[in-house]
């Protein structure tokens, strides 16, 4: 008779994850690098098991090996921690200014951040009176090259990273207006760098246009983008200065000082 799922032993994957967490916790309590022997003793894992897991973590940059046989926490953890920190701080700083901007425009105002090759929507201020169905919910994602905020992030990538992005994604489109050719995208990004704003001209969704301005942190890094979405025939260019001022207000709250 076939065993039921409940009768099966725990999968090895869960055990490996638990051991990974144990090793990371041990490394977190020491500033200097630790030897494999010491890590093995503190974790209770056989040296060969600890070595295998640490090497896997090192491949993902969660652990560094400054010298052979010694380990410490890796920079990838710092990157992820900063991403979470920035996301939480940006949302807190942005919420009230976003609502004020929405009152002025009566159109959805979006806060978005980059995650890999996509934009993720982390906050939105909108109302039913906008007359536009909101299809990109909080937590929703969209390709960088099809969104106004995504173009801001791509505009700060160096040429090699941009080409790599184009190769990975194929610059696939979703509407007849989508930019699917690298030379056209490069010209669009050049304008975004020059003017500090970017646009989506019905490239993600027909009938919807967007304009976006960047939000910067205390290290002058682009950490998010603020955008206004509106029906294609209602996007008002007079909103642009207020959009930029609101993005600047949020940036100032994060400690940004223009150079």
- Residue 257 CB: number of other CB atoms within 10 A? 9
Residues 208 and 229: beta-carbon distance below 8 Å: yes
pLDDT of 1 > 70? The answer is no
Q: Enter the pTM of the model.
A: 0.68
> What is the C-alpha to C-alpha distance for residues 69 and 49, in angstroms, rounded to an integer?
14
For the chain, first and last CA: distance in Å? 72
Q: Classify residue 111 by its DSSP letter.
A: E
* Lowest-confidence pick of 40-44, 51-55, 79-83, 148-152: 79-83
Listed range (77-81, 188-192, 202-206, 246-250) with the worst mean pLDDT = 77-81
**pLDDT exceeds 60 at position 10:** no
* Domains and their CATH numbers in the chain: 5-73 (1.10.10.10), 79-253 (3.30.450.40)
Residue 243, C-beta contacts closer than 8 angstroms, at least 6 positions apart: 101, 197, 211, 212, 213, 226, 227, 228
114-167 pLDDT tens trace: 999 999 999 998 876 555 554 567 888 999 999 999 999 999 999 999 999 999
**H-state helical runs in 60-131:** 75-105
**What pLDDT score does 2 carry?**
41
- In the DSSP assignment, the letter for residue 107 is S
Query: What is the mean predicted confidence (pLDDT) over 195-224?
Result: 95
Partners of 73 in the β-ladder: 63
For 59-93, the pLDDT digits (tens) are: 999 999 998 889 999 988 888 877 776 776 899 99
Q: What's the pLDDT score for residue 136? A: 61
The mean-pLDDT minimum among 109-113, 122-126, 249-253 falls in 122-126
Look at residues 33, 229, 57 and name the one whose alpha carbon lies nearest to residue 147.
229
The DSSP code for 173 is -
Q: Are 54 and 71 in contact (CB under 8 A)?
A: yes
pLDDT at 14 over 70: yes
């Amino acid at each position: 008779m076939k065993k039921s799922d409940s009768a099966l032993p725990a999968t090895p994957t869960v055990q490996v994850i638990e051991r990974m967490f144990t090793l990371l916790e041990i490394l977190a309590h020491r500033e200097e690098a630790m030897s494999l022997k010491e890590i093995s003793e503190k974790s209770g894992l056989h040296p060969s098991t600890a070595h295998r897991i640490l090497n896997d973590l090192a491949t993902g940059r969660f652990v560094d090996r400054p010298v052979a046989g010694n380990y410490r926490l890796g920079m990838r953890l710092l990157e992820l921690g900063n991403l979470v920190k920035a996301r939480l701080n940006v949302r807190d700083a942005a919420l009230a200014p976003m609502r004020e901007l929405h009152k002025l425009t009566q159109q959805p105002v979006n806060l978005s951040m980059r995650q890999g090759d996509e934009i993720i929507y982390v906050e939105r201020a909108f109302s039913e009176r906008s007359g536009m169905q909101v299809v990109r919910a909080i937590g929703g994602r969209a390709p960088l090259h099809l969104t106004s905020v995504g173009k801001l992030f791509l505009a700060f990538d160096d040429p090699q990273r941009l080409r790599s992005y184009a190769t990975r994604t194929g610059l696939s489109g979703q509407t007849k207006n989508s930019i699917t050719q690298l030379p056209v995208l490069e010209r669009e990004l050049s304008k975004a760098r020059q003017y500090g704003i970017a646009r989506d001209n019905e490239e993600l969704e027909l009938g919807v246009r967007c304009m976006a301005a960047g939000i910067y942190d205390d290290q002058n890094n682009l950490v998010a983008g603020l955008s206004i979405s509106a029906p294609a025939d209602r996007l008002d260019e007079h909103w642009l200065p207020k959009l930029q001022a609101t993005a600047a207000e949020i940036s100032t709250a994060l400690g940004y000082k223009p150079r």
